[in-house]
Amino acid sequence: MAAATVDQAVEDARREADEIVEEISAQAEARRDEATRVAAEAEAMAEHLLAEADQSLARIEEAETEAEMIKVIAREQADTLVSVERERVADEIEALAEVRNALETERGALGSYHEELRRRVQELV
């Protein structure tokens, strides 16, 4: 009789342990699923931000190209203008150079931002 009681107690303890293991496993799986979901959202957001940064860099490059073209045209026109007109064009060229410097500064900042986002994505993955 005592052996049967001990066997029953052992069986009950095993069943209870199995239930606890199942509960812990379910909780761990739920937490893993949540972490996976959060990581996927973070990755999607990082990819979106990288795409925006790439678009910004492309716009800056286009603006730099356009600014360079304007600068060349302005120089060609300055050769045919009278001295007063040459002064005006020279002032315009200086303004374009300032724009270019500002664009280069912005490009550097966006490049740094872009690299930082890439680093964060790498950390997430």
pLDDT by 10s per residue, the chain, length 125: 677 787 888 888 889 888 998 999 999 899 999 989 999 999 999 999 999 999 999 999 999 999 899 989 888 876 776 677 767 767 888 998 898 998 899 999 888 988 988 888 888 77
Give the residue from 98, 93, 62, 56 showing the smallest Cα distance to 78. Answer: 93
CA 125 – CA 122 distance, rounded (Å): 5
Q: What are 20-51's pLDDT values in tens digits? A: 989 999 998 999 999 899 999 999 999 999 99
The domain segmentation of the chain, as residue ranges, is: 2-124
What sign for the dihedral angle of Cα 51, 57, 59, 65? negative
